[in-house]
Structure 1
């Protein structure tokens, strides 16, 4: 009977075994480096802050710095602190490497089978295969055949990723560092494109605000100014069309177009206010008039109000107010009631 056990010694089996050993060594090395670095840091702080242990840190740092050509007086300056940190890091890495080489997880056949079953979801098929040598039963050829058929697609690299490759694929701090660098970096705008776009956006917002005010004003005067409603609607439609025609690459043309629309909206406001005042004057009753107003004056004031001027109207109102103050007060005469004669 041909021995097709996939766990027999071979090139792929040897590669998988070496990857398992290397993965165990990497896990143990990283754990030891972190632990030894923490212990060394606490020890250095304890020695420097308490002074209970007399360690020649200054002499060791000065000697090491002299060997590599660095001038320092000890751990009292930044150069000495850097040399001390480098010594501690190198010591931690060296001790951790030696310890991990002598004391790390050595995988067995059962460990390799469990890893394969967990990765491929084969429900302990390979683990059962490793236990066939000491078991009895007629199902051994069936298990071996199923394991051989499954082992054709097994690759050691995805089943046992190395710690360094897994860490390089999953760099969690890189997106956060990019965001922080982007937030601290000043905006790069050598040709003032961003500034022009911001200016156009601000002007667009201002015009939209004025359009909303014009729309509210038109709704308030819609009942009394039916003849002006089409003009207001036309102005709003023209403003919307102008906003759609604006282009970022032509700021001067945009500014000219916006100024035209602003002037047109201002003229509409003046016309609306003039018409409102005209209706107020026409609504006055005979007993509330200051006096008879000539028709030519009314026509002249209406024309000036349509042009946006109210100077003559204000002068006339001030004149009427002074006249009303100088007029004598009206006196009210009371009629005495007849007295009733006493009955005799």
Structure 2
């Protein structure tokens, strides 16, 4: 897979792990543009999670990626919300990706086809659409979707991207056109053209080194994914290690040693890490909050005598979303405490009320 990430340094980024998985599943005939910004005349600015272009088959797909606090119970076609475990209704992502597809199709017809595919009839341009959510599983009731598909696993999504064909394929007439088309698409969708990708688009290296270069690129992606995972584990380990008390000289219980970080600092560390690279996209902010709350739930030093402080989580998290979205309940679609309880249950925990502390919960 040739990956063209967003040129906006403040834009949300896909996880390195997901990029590495896709890179292992998709060949270099698949171009993947992530976190694109599309300005189509007469339409609202569209933020696209992924645009896939299989240049060998001439197929294109707009894909919306969604993370939900609980598993998806039912995924319906347009006109109805999706339902999660516990009965929560969420906006239908099929409707969202349909609007995005309209914007992508409009700009391709106006900006790309006339210059790079002059013989192609713009009215014949076909794009697939999909929604990927890891909370979709074998038990999800997926209604017959008229336009597009819903996927719960990356291998299933990648298989469609790799193998689908079109009755009106958008295929380049010559190999040399690939770099020109890729450059134009990057400019249109505000993504970057990495140096190693540009080298591949220029053609095979002398001496038959193409496979060697591809393998080095794959290794770099895998190393990047491992570094992200190690960073997460390091932070959790750093804030989770309890300091052992010194041996007592008497039978009297020793006074506990103060932890290195305060409760506020620990909470702030989890939220700051989770919001790295998140911009004004409300879905990205909600995902970052979910990631931070999972880190809090996994941090035993935030489980004090009075439980976990939801109010502290809210006070630290509010400045991260207030500028773009106003309040945490607005981003989450419900009161913060209710959302935290649902998240804990989704993680397999049993949240309990704390007498006299309505903003705190205990989990077990």
Q: Same fold (TM over 0.5)?
A: no
Q: TM-score range by the shorter chain?
A: under 0.3
**TM-score, with length taken from structure 1:** 0.22
- In terms of Rg, which structure is larger? 1
**TM-score, with length taken from structure 2:** 0.21
| Bigger strand share | 2
Q: Which has the higher contact order (CA 8 A, sep 6+)?
A: 2
